Each structure stands twice: as structure tokens, then as C-alpha cells.
Amino acid sequence: MNTPISRELIDKTIEEFGIKDFSKATIREVKAIAALAEQKSGVEFIKMEMGVPGLPPSKVGVDAQISALSKGIARLYPDINGIAELKQEAARFVKMFIDTDVSPESCVPVTGSMQGTFASFLTASQCVEGKDTILFIDPGFPVQKMQIEVMGAKYKTFDVYSYRGNRLKGKLEEFLKGGDIAAIVYSNPNNPSWVCLKDEELQIIGELANTYDVIVFEDLAYFAMDFRKDLSVPGKAPFQPSVSKYTENCAMLISGSKAFSYAGERIGVVCMTDKLYHRQYSGLTKRYGGGTFGTVFVHRVLYALSSGTSHSAQYALAAMLKAANDGKYNFLNEVKVYGERARKLKEIFLKHGFHIVYDMDMDTKVADGFYFTIGYKSMTSGELIKELMYYGVSAISLSTTGSNQEGLRACTSFIEDHQYEELDKRLAIFEENNK
């Protein structure tokens, strides 16, 4: 069977990595195998496995960071609470683009949302004795579960695919009635499926968080990147949907990586409700002798993890948020290209017999964005991920994201203009070989 890259080469490369079940290969493993196979074969890979921004960073941020560095800011440790400018603009940003009120005190800079979730999970799992489990509304970012494993906490998970709308309530209560759930986490828009939880679903989550007294961590790494509606005008509806409309037991994690293309500087902000920031928990008092969720998060957990967040990067994010808040910088205009890429890529995959796995947001089609999901006939995730490698196409298996569906997650960030035609040619061969 003729393929763009020999099956023997791919099989041998996978074997060299010692991976027995390729459906369980991590993002980094898939990336490394694709790079090595590309080097050995001389065939360019169409790489869709890594969720890394591929756009130039925001000039607003770069200029502000350079200015801060030129003034000698690198000589000073940053305040562990965060610089005043960033805290103020983060609170404004939440008001302008989510329409939720939080105080600057409750907005805490972190070394990327990855550190934000780690610190959030760790703090939440210590709040109440017996509540030591994080509940994932999956599919989700695989590394967050690795974080739970690293810290020695516990997690539970379910695939939201079959529990949209009102069905979400009963499923969540199955877990919450056990009394061991400390917090719920999800991304919105979702990595990897790009589904977007609707207000009625966020209301369900918020009301159950109140009833069962659990914290909700809302991962907004792809902030406002539901391109089906314009969420870019500060202070005007529509706003980024958020559970903060329905509960004060929550924190919103806002990342500089995707919406602002500032991934390399590892900068983000955790915006807690004031109620959560100032709330005292028996578990935290017993462990630390006092403190609130917010002060333990900052002065215990973050201090132990990194002693603060990059000083100059805080100035960069503060400038980007201020420009967005003032209406001088439409950050979404710069990232809409991801949606256009997804539209083109989906058309090619669908043309050659593939289907979109997570295709609907209840009664509407899922948005085109940073990620999308593909399946092919009755192929399992493991079969499809390996088969596409023979055609120089790399993605990750949905099984690694907590999904129960068969298929792959594809990312649009590294796609080049010349690759659409090449993908079309390769998938035509794929279709012919897999009738």
C-alpha cells in the first residue's frame, strides 16, 4: 500500500520510543516522533499535535516589557501579590469582557495558567478535610491531570459529550453527592473539542457549586475565542460566558498565551471572586494556622512554587489588558486566523470521508477555532493516530484528553498556507487506501 512515508519507517520510529499503545502517546511524544520521522524521510509533516501559538506576540506587550527591562526592573523581586498595574487592569478586564466585578486584590499573576491551575488545585484540595478530589468536566488538557498526580491529590472525570444541557445537572450530582469533590474544572472554549458551555449549563454548574459548596475553576485559556459572536468590545454585550454569573465560589484563569500570543513569557492571572479570596476554610486553618483561600494561595502556595511571577512579563500583560480595556487594542482581531484555518482544514478532512467528533454545541454547530476533532469511519483513536502518521499528519488521540469518543484532536496553530493543498493530496491517498 503506497503512503507518503513508509510504514516501516514510522513503525520503527515508534518502536524506538518504546510506546506499546500509540493511542496513549503524550503530546510531546507525538511531536518528537513526527520530528524524527520528518528528518529520516525528508517529508514535511503537517503538524497538528501541539497547542502552541504560532502568531507573532502582541507588540503592545513586547514594547511594555522592553521598557520595564530597560528601566532595570529585572534587578528586583516582584511583589508576590503582583504589581499594582496588572492587578488593576485584570480586574477591569474581568468587568469589561465578562461583566463580573472582582477587586484588584483578588487578581493574582501566575507563571502561566499552568501554574495557576496547579496552585488552584493544591489549595482547593486542602480547604476541607475529606474534600480532596478535583472533578474534571472532560475532555480537557491532559497535563492538568498530571498536575493532580504530581501533587498526590485525587481526581474524577466524565466526558461531557453525552451530558449537554439539562442532562449535565444529573451527571454532576452523581459526583457531588459523594461529598469528596473539592473543585470542578473545565475549559471554555474547550480544549480539545472547542465546544463552548452555554449559559444554561454554566448556571447548572454554578448553582450546584453553591448547593454542594465546591469551588469552580474556569480555565479561560482561549478567552473569548468563540468566533461565532463578537466578544471583543469592552463593556458591551455579548460577554465571555462565565460561571461567575451564578456562583461566588469560583476563580477565572486568564492566560496571556493564546489570546495575546504571549506564551513564551509564561504569564497569566487568576481572578478569584472576592468572596473566595477572603473565605476562611477549616482545612487551611488547621494546616497553616490561619489565612484565607486567597492569602494561602499567594503567600503559601505561590511563594513555595516560584516566589512570584516574572516581573517584566507582568508589565507586558498589564499593558495588553489596559489597551484592550481602553478599546485601543482588539486582541481578538489578531487571533481570528485560527478560526479561518480550522474552517479550511475541516473542509479538507470532511471532503475525504472524515467526520467532526465534537460537532455540535447542543443546537448549533461548534465554532471554528484553535482546535477541532476528527474521526474516520470505525477507526479507533489508536488506529487513526498511527495511520495518519504514514501520511505525514500528526495529531493527538482523544483518549489522552479524558474523552470516551474515538478520534483525534487537531490544532491549527502551526499550519502554513502551502500545507492546505498538500493535506488535500495526502488525504486523497488516505481515502483511497482506507475505503
pLDDT in tens, 250-289: 999 999 999 999 999 999 999 999 999 999 999 999 999 9
What pTM was computed for the model?
A: 0.93
Q: How confident is the model at residue 356 (pLDDT cuts 50, 70, 90)?
A: very high
Length of the chain: 435
DSSP secondary structure letter of residue 221:
T
| CA dist., res. 208 & res. 211, Å (int) | 5
Amino acid identity, position 283? G
Phi/psi at 78 (5° precision): -75, 150
CA–CA distance, 134 with 154 (Å, rounded to integer): 6
- Cα–Cα distances in angstroms (integers) from residue 177 to residues 180, 205, 237, 246, 432, in the given order: 8, 14, 36, 20, 51
Report the DSSP pairing between strands 396-397 and 408-411. antiparallel
Look at residue 320 in the predicted model and tell me its pLDDT: 98
Separation of first and last alpha carbons in the chain: 12
Residue pair 259/224 in contact (Cβ under 8 Å)? The answer is yes
What mean pLDDT is predicted for residues 90-115? Answer: 97
All three cell numbers of 377, joined, read 469511519
CA 326 to chain CA centroid, nearest Å: 26
Res. 1: pLDDT tops 80 = no
Q: Averaged over 174-196, what is the pLDDT?
A: 96
**Kind and range of the H or E element at 394?**
strand 393-394
* Residue spans of alpha helices (H) in 369-418: 381-389
Q: Which of 434, 401, 386, 381 is nearest to 15 (CA)?
A: 386
pLDDT recorded at residue 86: 98
pLDDT for the residue numbered 51: 81
Q: What is the mean pLDDT of the chain?
A: 95
* Average pLDDT value for residue range 105-131: 97
Cell numbers found for residue 112: 502561566
Q: Cα-atom radius of gyration of the chain, to the nearest Å?
A: 22
Q: Label the pairing between strands 371-376 and 408-411.
A: antiparallel
Domains and CATH numbers, the chain: 7-43+336-433 (3.90.1150.100), 59-331 (3.40.640.10)
Q: Largest alpha-carbon pair distance within the chain?
A: 68
Residue type at 424 in one-letter notation: D
C-alpha–C-alpha distance, residues 33 and 300, integer Å: 40
Which residue, among 373, 357, 352, has the nearest Cα to 433 in the 3D structure?
Answer: 352
Residue 328 grid coordinates? 485601543
pLDDT of 233 > 80? The answer is yes
Cβ-based neighbours of 320, under 8 Å, separated by 6 or more:
58, 60, 61, 64, 256, 260, 262, 329, 331
**pLDDT given at position 55:** 87
Crossing angle (nearest 10°) for helices 59-70 and 311-325? 140
153-162-214 Cα angle (round to 5)? 35
Q: Supply the DSSP string of 134-158, one letter for each residue.
A: EEEEES--HHHHHHHHHHT-EEEEE
On whether the CB atoms of residues 370 and 340 are closer than 8 A, the answer is: no
Query: Apex CA 36: angle with CA 33 and CA 37, to 5°?
Result: 85
Among the listed residues 325, 305, 293, the one whose alpha carbon sits nearest the alpha carbon of residue 106? 293
Neighbouring C-alpha atoms within 13 Å toward the C-beta of 322: 14
> What distance in Å separates the CA atoms of residue 216 and residue 71, rounded to the nearest whole number?
39
3-state secondary structure of 371: strand
For the record, the C-alpha cell of 290 comes out as: 490561619
Report the C-alpha gap between 238 and 409 in whole angstroms. Answer: 28
The residues, ordered by sequence, that sit 6+ positions from 322 with a Cβ below 8 Å of its Cβ are 85, 89, 92
Position 345 scores a pLDDT of: 97
Q: The cell 445537572 sits on which residue?
A: 169
- Res 19 pLDDT > 90: no
Query: What mean pLDDT is predicted for residues 327-348?
Result: 94
Q: Check pLDDT > 80 for residue 155.
A: yes
Residue 38 and residue 362: Cα distance in Å, rounded?
39
Average pLDDT over residues 6-11: 94
| Whether pLDDT at 84 is above 80 | yes
Q: What is the pLDDT of residue 35?
A: 94
How high is the pLDDT of residue 20? 84
Let me know the angle formed at the C-alpha of 196 by 413 and 114, rounded to the nearest 5 degrees: 55
